[in-house]
Structure 1
Amino acid sequence: MIKNYLTIAFRSFLNGKGYSFINVTGLAVGMACAILIYLVIRHETSYDLSQANLDRIYRVETENIKENHTYPGTYTGMANALRTDLPEAETIVPLMQVGGRTMTAAGSSEKKFRESFVFADNALFRTLDYTWVAGDPGQALAQPNAIVLTRAYATKYFGNVDVLGKSIRLDSKHDLTVTGVVEDYPVTTSFPFNMLVSFPTVKQVDTGFDENRWNGWNDNFQVFVLLKKGIDATQLTGRFEAVVLKYMGKEALSDKRFKLNHLSEVHYAGNLGGRTANVGLLKTLAAIGALVLLIACFNFINLSTARAFKRAKEVGIRKAVGSSRKSLIYQFITEAGLITVFAGVLALILSVLVLPILSAALAIPLTIQDLFVPQTALFSGILVLLTTLMAGVYPALRLSGMAPIWALKNNATSSSGQGFSMREGLVVVQFTVSLVLISCAMLIDRQLDFFRNADLGFNKSAIITVGLPDNRPDKLQTLRSMLSQSAQIKDVSFSFNSASAESNWMQGMEYRQGPKTVQVKTQMKMGDSHYLDTYGIQLLAGEALKDSDTTNFKIIVNEVFLGRIGISNPAAAIGQRVYYGDGNEFATIAGVARNFHVNSLHQKIDPTIIQVVPNNFYQAGIKLQSENAIAAGIQSVLVTIEKAWTEAFPDQVFEYSFLDETLGKAYQSETRTARLIEVATILALLIASMGLFGLATFTAEQRTKEIGVRKVLGASVGSVVVLLSRDFLKPVVVAIILASPIAWYLMNLWLQNFEFKISISWWLFLASGLMMTAIALMTVSFQSVRAAMLDPVRSLRSE
């Protein structure tokens, strides 16, 4: 029987080549989408899950209650505090990441690299899984000036892994002794550290580091905790409240909260690995994959049920000679299975071709080999089975349920008198999904345009940023003098970071007015006297900072800061004092700057202070004279900058970036979402249009004699085209009515992720509807015109 089913299935497949092509192609595209999206989601949801102590590892995060925002970093005093006040912890693991430093293999002046590394201690090796090639995990990071390398980095610097006792020089000043080598980290880790430097070395590299600081933090300093067995993290809230009370004071309880975030969730928030997964994007991907596959299945159902009337006599004869409904169901499901298997093979080929492009677009390390692992094979097998059932069960039940007498009647193909048929309902769903995708893609692109063109309150164009390996005044003066000699350079500023940056320094400040005290969590922008001019930040009142303001602690504040302390007039703020935390040190407001976006447009503008702190100058911002320089001019100025930089820092590696490109990276997730939805829209429209084309072909065939009669009676070609096209526009109009509110709801939900956003305009839905109507008309008009142009004599000939 199975052989018989397959033989008939092959015959049916070959007899309807056009319909089979549409079904195979549509299902293949849908299945390829599902397979590729499965690979992405499986990769993104597998980070850190192989850790042996996974269930007990947590990160201590800092929540600002008033801002309703949680930061992955915390205060440097947290590690020592938890060692004392959290007996439920088995290990406390402080990690501090440092970037943009020059590393040189001892004895080799050629092997210089610009690297980032992490300060850690031996508790890291008792918490996370490491496979050791050489060294003692219990002592490797116990002493100052010790470094542990991965196998890849040991080979990179020394050519082999026999490197214990050898030295790596940091910034031409600090010699670090290699005390261990570990195997390379897995791809799915939130801790991709190639260089681990012992924590006792911090003081030598950063003399201003305070391991007991409770005022100001940086997201590059994070603390992980391995809880003892049997400890429930949710029961430790009281412990962390006690930490706030003990080290920060009772006043901080209303604004500050520390909480534990499980290691399995770290990949979805800011982490030291620098790569995060966007949960919203993953959900969007899953929904897109399901919808595209569903549209392809609906195509199959529509075309199968449309062709059912052609096979009505076949069904009637089979039943008349004794075939059971069960055997007919098996037959039709076998046909669906055959088409799905062909589609599965084509889907695999498409996946092989598209995977490298998808991997590059999403910056995910997926390879062709990922398509051929057992998990993917199992998923693909289940996908083929489910697709067969989704696409085949309804047509099988519909076709096998025909009564023999009805099926054998001459008018069995008549479908007149029906209202809104099942086929039309499925077409409505297809085009509703396509319209929602079109509307979403258009709106996301508008939001991205808003990001690109929004007034940030400063000028991001034509600014090149370069890291500073040394912030000694003589070095910086040498660099400024050489750069200022170039006619292509307008200004140079030294600072902690740019006017807008993802990594920021938060500081608690107080404004005291008599008995009244206002606490303000403030973002610190440490820059020199050129900072405002370089970044085009406008002063509303007061005067710019001078480089000599390091001694008298003068500062510039923004409008948001003034609003928090209750001053409405910028001029009235000049001369006012603000205190650092709850201490006695204060700074005097010398100027008020117009609000500028210190963060990405996802977040509101923080209260911000600009202050001259040369010890924290780690970046040079170089403003070019021309904002529209040609490529040759940019290359020329880069050569000038590199020459000056090398003169000031001869033993360092030169790296640069353009500020506008750096800021654009903050919206990578939204850009990827837009591109994915655009691709999904094209695929959904392609599949839906192919199905509509197939239905139009079938309808034209069914109404051949009707068209012939109408033409004999004087109907024009145009009236016949309108007659045939009208029936297909009805589901499109219904789809427009259904899709518009759905798209509005989804986009309104998505826009809630942004503090600054566009409004949703009605014309977006009108444009989407007109676009969809045009596509539907073009799809069916070819068959409509073709049918209308047929010779009526041929149309009316006897069968």
Structure 2
Amino acid sequence: MSKIGMALVVREMNFNFGPVMIRNHFTIAVRSFFNSKGYSFINVAGLAVGLACTILIFLVVRHETSYDLSQSRLERIYRVETENIKEGHTYPGTYTGMAQALRTDLPEAEVIAPLMQRGGKTMAAGALPAGSYSQEKKNQRPAFRESVVFADNALFRALDYTWVAGNPAHALSQPNAIVLTRAYAKKYFGTADVLGNTIRMDNKQDLTVTGVVEDYPATTSFPFNMLVSFATVKQIDPGFEDNKWNGWNDNFQVFVVLKKGVAPEQLTGRFESVVVKYMGKEALPDKRFKLNHLAEIHYTGNLGGRSANVGLLKTLSVIGALVLLIACFNFINLSTARAFKRAKEVGIRKAIGSSRKSLIYQFLTEAGLVTLFAGIVALVLSVLLLPVLAAALAIPLTLDDDLFTGSTALFTGFLLLLTTLLAGIYPALRLSGMAPIWALKSNSTVRAGQWFSMREGLVVVQFTVSLVLICCAMLIDRQLDFFRNADLGFNKSAVITVGLPDNKPEKLHTLREQLIRSAQIKDVSFSFNSASAESNWMQAMEYRQGPKVVQVKTQMKMGDSHYFDTYGIRMLAGEPLKDSDTTRNFRIIVNEVFLGRIGIDSPRAAIGQRVYYGDGNEFATIVGVVRNFHVNSLHQKIDPTIIQVVPNNFYQAGIKLQSENASAASIQAALADIEKAWMEAFPDQVFEYSFLDETLAQAYQSETRTARLIEAATILAVLIASMGLFGLATFTAEQRTKEIGVRKVLGASVGSVVALLSRDFLKPVVLAIVVASPIAWYLMDQWLQNFEFKISVSWWLFVAAGSLMSLIALATVSFQSLRAAMLDPVRSLRSE
């Protein structure tokens, strides 16, 4: 090599990373960006949407996976959960006797912290001694409907709390003590200096404020604003059993802090001993207690009221990656498609001594510039869409605390770098690899076939992703329609539910008398909960027939004589309940599933049979059988169910309206009558109501949110893919301008030219339909396994999705094809 050539090589090596070369690369990148405004717009728009989608999903996933991770004892905190072995289902709640049992029988535990949640409590600031306030002053006092949690001081040794006032060692030691968060202290008293003040609960129990703690963080499974001492429970509910082993509720949970060095796997034997000691050896095949780590309870039922769906988080992550990927594919396709326009530039650069490395830097700089512009647009989109996403997912995401943070900035920077490499590395390698002699030929496309094959493959991937999303969105919507229209075995329409702050017979009698006077109300029932509810009361029952004993885990439904008429539950045999069925030996009604479990085939044969509560002597007599109805959501099987009259456990009123298709005016009239009756029965309580059908729909919030997210992702994926296809069609039409002119001169019609140009682009779409259909079928079949009651995957769904995608692609391509076919052939045949 000559000295001059060697000097040029050394010079280029020295300046590849120098300021001059960087400025040169940047200048050329800016010039290229603005010289191809149409392609630049498509690339920026596609990448911006993909980047914004990825950033927003990152914020959601980061938030949902960070719950409780800041607890100082995180590695040692577990929740005791109840597993039904035969069902293969684990419940977050446990028996009320568990806390004391573990204090006695689990020396490996450092702290035992029981928690019990009760909702629907009317709370007001200041005591109301009898006769000390006028009714007018009572009405002026602010009162709120709250959920309270009963706990003891062990909670403060298990979880981290920052105390504003009070002593954590004694704050919940005595009855009638309450600890507030700072926000709630200000809500009720206007200040955080509230020690010694009182909060009145349900207008009958005065609670003294013994402590104030700082507000809880957004990422906690314990968002408790009111902590009441456990010693208070007996005073407000004399029938509460704190050592019960024959029934549990998920609202009672026990947390354990293990001593250092103790692993949960070491305690299997301990928990088996608890089963044998307190429930009997015969319970071992069916019952198991297990420890679930604190970091995991956000993904299962918890007292905080909201859980993350692991499947939804995985789906979101995959969707974000796919949307960004197809946006990168647009960049790759358009860059390689435009290769012949850059061919002479590449040839000249190589002829004057540019190395392949220098060209790679140049094209990566161009990709980085496009990505930078896309990142700016993506940030604007994220600011605009974050509130919408937070509301749709019911997640407390904010701009200051989530988007504008250091970790988000690091992630965004990494994402921009990754996107630059994903979108730019292949075009950079392909363009820089062109031989100078071939590159300098006049618009030669000898190697175009190879690049077209690559582009065709990327188009197939883009439309495969879009088709899978379309199929998934359509099937999820069908499943949700099935949920909405399924026969639940009872009538959920025109039923208003209201929580009962007091279940004394005289109070309920007053309320009923007032309600049935309304012309808008058909019937009223008092019960533990609705015919279908997510909060369940599970009870172990036994059917004894000689030496044979059948144990059945049963869901208890407690309601009055109006329960079946209010909810439209159909009797199959026997007689309905009576309000007088409250003696010790209960009269009960069971469902068909319960009969199947105890081995009775005929509903009539069950009448008069006895079933026992647990392994004791207390029994109930079956007086009726009802048709199966869905006591849970359609995610689960129908439980064996017993309905009985237990007035002490009536916490809800179900009010059936006269018309199931009531007008807005009649509904408002009914609500006015209900509130008036309520205020007469409970003058010092807060009135709140809900419609049963809306409450039941909340059980499918996760699926509804998944559907909306997939629909949004589908729109974005199809939009990005269509933009890319539009760009390719535009470029192909430009590239084949002379060919089109020749064909038209020789007599080709506009239709034949359009068909010619469109055919090549529809081939990858058809291939995408073939590839996407089995993938979508598999994914949806797996998703449907989450439901006990579900639809089937129909073949026509894939035909409909494929047809829709073909129409979108045809409309996208035909616009440019028609435009090219309509050009004057004289203009098309002009010399370049």
Identify the TM-score tier after normalising by the shorter chain.
over 0.9
**Change over 3 Å in CA distance of 1:416–1:383 after alignment to 2:** closer
Give the one of 340, 358, 375 matched to 1:344. 375
In structure 2, what is the Cα distance between the partners aligned to 1:420 and 1:400?
17
1:310 aligns with 2:341: yes
Please tell me the residue identity of whatever aligns with 1:753.
N
The Cα shift of 1:170 comes to 1.0
Assess if the C-alpha contact under 8 Å between 1:537 and 1:596 holds in 2. yes
Please tell me the residue identity of whatever aligns with 1:169.
R
The corresponding residue for 2:515 is: 483
The corresponding residue for 1:59 is: 79
The corresponding residue for 1:16 is: 36
Report 1:224-623 matches (<5 A).
224-369=255-400, 370-410=402-442, 412-415=444-447, 421-551=453-583, 552-623=585-656
Please tell me the residue identity of whatever aligns with 1:769.
G
- Normalised TM-score (structure 1): 0.99
In structure 2, what is the Cα distance between the partners aligned to 1:122 and 1:165?
18
Please tell me the residue identity of whatever aligns with 2:212.
V
The corresponding residue for 1:106 is: 126
The Cα shift of 1:413 comes to 2.4
Please tell me the residue identity of whatever aligns with 2:780.
M
Please tell me the residue identity of whatever aligns with 2:748.
A
Please tell me the residue identity of whatever aligns with 1:631.
A
1:93 aligns with 2:125: no
The Cα shift of 1:420 comes to 6.8
Assess if the C-alpha contact under 8 Å between 2:459 and 2:764 holds in 1. yes
Give the one of 783, 794, 812 matched to 1:761. 794
Please tell me the residue identity of whatever aligns with 2:417.
L
SS of residue in 2 equivalent to 1:311: helix
**Change over 3 Å in CA distance of 1:417–1:621 after alignment to 2:** closer
The corresponding residue for 2:4 is: none
In structure 2, what is the Cα distance between the partners aligned to 1:411 and 1:580?
88
Identity of aligned residues (%): 83
In structure 2, what is the Cα distance between the partners aligned to 1:587 and 1:233?
40
Assess if the C-alpha contact under 8 Å between 2:336 and 2:451 holds in 1. no
The Cα shift of 1:372 comes to 1.0
CA RMSD of aligned residues (A): 0.9
Please tell me the residue identity of whatever aligns with 2:259.
K
The corresponding residue for 2:225 is: 194
Assess if the C-alpha contact under 8 Å between 1:146 and 1:177 holds in 2. yes
In structure 1, what is the Cα distance between the partners aligned to 2:192 and 2:378?
43
Please tell me the residue identity of whatever aligns with 1:743.
A
The Cα shift of 1:417 comes to 5.5
In structure 2, what is the Cα distance between the partners aligned to 1:161 and 1:357?
33
The Cα shift of 1:250 comes to 1.0
In structure 2, what is the Cα distance between the partners aligned to 1:269 and 1:117?
20
Please tell me the residue identity of whatever aligns with 1:790.
L
The corresponding residue for 2:130 is: none
Please tell me the residue identity of whatever aligns with 1:702.
Q
Gaps of 5+ in 1: none
The Cα shift of 1:206 comes to 1.0
Assess if the C-alpha contact under 8 Å between 2:272 and 2:284 holds in 1. yes
1:31 aligns with 2:51: yes
The Cα shift of 1:410 comes to 2.4
How big is each residue's C-alpha offset from its partner over 1:71-101, in whole Å with a ceiling of 9 and x where there is no partner?
0000000000000000000000000001001
In structure 1, what is the Cα distance between the partners aligned to 2:762 and 2:548?
69
Please tell me the residue identity of whatever aligns with 2:113.
V
In structure 2, what is the Cα distance between the partners aligned to 1:172 and 1:796?
92
Assess if the C-alpha contact under 8 Å between 2:171 and 2:211 holds in 1. yes
Please tell me the residue identity of whatever aligns with 1:395.
P
SS of residue in 2 equivalent to 1:283: helix
- Normalised TM-score (structure 2): 0.95
Please tell me the residue identity of whatever aligns with 2:406.
P
The Cα shift of 1:328 comes to 0.2
The answer to which of 417-426 and 208-217 deviates more is: 417-426
Assess if the C-alpha contact under 8 Å between 1:310 and 1:413 holds in 2. no
Please tell me the residue identity of whatever aligns with 2:771.
L
Give the one of 809, 812, 816 matched to 1:779. 812
The Cα shift of 1:416 comes to 6.3
In structure 2, what is the Cα distance between the partners aligned to 1:345 and 1:75?
55
SS of residue in 2 equivalent to 1:421: helix
The Cα shift of 1:706 comes to 0.6
Assess if the C-alpha contact under 8 Å between 1:577 and 1:587 holds in 2. yes
Give the one of 54, 61, 69 matched to 1:49. 69
The Cα shift of 1:414 comes to 4.0
The corresponding residue for 2:14 is: none
**Change over 3 Å in CA distance of 1:532–1:712 after alignment to 2:** same
In structure 2, what is the Cα distance between the partners aligned to 1:615 and 1:106?
28
In structure 2, what is the Cα distance between the partners aligned to 1:389 and 1:519?
63
In structure 2, what is the Cα distance between the partners aligned to 1:553 and 1:372?
61
SS of residue in 2 equivalent to 1:364: coil
The Cα shift of 1:770 comes to 0.2
In structure 2, what is the Cα distance between the partners aligned to 1:630 and 1:509?
45
Please tell me the residue identity of whatever aligns with 2:594.
F
In structure 1, what is the Cα distance between the partners aligned to 2:390 and 2:162?
28
The Cα shift of 1:287 comes to 0.5
In structure 2, what is the Cα distance between the partners aligned to 1:672 and 1:414?
50
SS of residue in 1 equivalent to 2:779: helix
In structure 2, what is the Cα distance between the partners aligned to 1:519 and 1:614?
26
SS of residue in 2 equivalent to 1:604: coil
1:205 aligns with 2:219: no
The Cα shift of 1:649 comes to 0.9
1:119 aligns with 2:150: yes
Assess if the C-alpha contact under 8 Å between 2:543 and 2:598 holds in 1. yes
How big is each residue's C-alpha offset from its partner over 1:313-355, in whole Å with a ceiling of 9 and x where there is no partner?
1111111111100000000000000000000000000000111
Assess if the C-alpha contact under 8 Å between 2:113 and 2:255 holds in 1. yes
Please tell me the residue identity of whatever aligns with 1:548.
S
Paired positions, count: 799
In structure 1, what is the Cα distance between the partners aligned to 2:710 and 2:313?
12
The corresponding residue for 1:170 is: 201
The answer to which of 749-758 and 418-427 deviates more is: 418-427
The corresponding residue for 2:679 is: 646
Assess if the C-alpha contact under 8 Å between 1:309 and 1:412 holds in 2. yes
Assess if the C-alpha contact under 8 Å between 1:244 and 1:253 holds in 2. yes
Assess if the C-alpha contact under 8 Å between 2:76 and 2:260 holds in 1. yes
In structure 1, what is the Cα distance between the partners aligned to 2:451 and 2:731?
19
In structure 1, what is the Cα distance between the partners aligned to 2:607 and 2:65?
52
The answer to which of 600-609 and 543-552 deviates more is: 543-552
In structure 1, what is the Cα distance between the partners aligned to 2:756 and 2:318?
36
How big is each residue's C-alpha offset from its partner over 1:701-741, in whole Å with a ceiling of 9 and x where there is no partner?
11011111111111000000000000000000000000000
In structure 2, what is the Cα distance between the partners aligned to 1:271 and 1:440?
29
Please tell me the residue identity of whatever aligns with 2:674.
I
SS of residue in 1 equivalent to 2:53: helix
The corresponding residue for 1:78 is: 98
In structure 2, what is the Cα distance between the partners aligned to 1:61 and 1:85?
17
The corresponding residue for 1:751 is: 784
In structure 2, what is the Cα distance between the partners aligned to 1:574 and 1:450?
35
Assess if the C-alpha contact under 8 Å between 2:337 and 2:451 holds in 1. no
How big is each residue's C-alpha offset from its partner over 1:221-251, in whole Å with a ceiling of 9 and x where there is no partner?
0000000011111111111111111101111
Please tell me the residue identity of whatever aligns with 1:104.
A
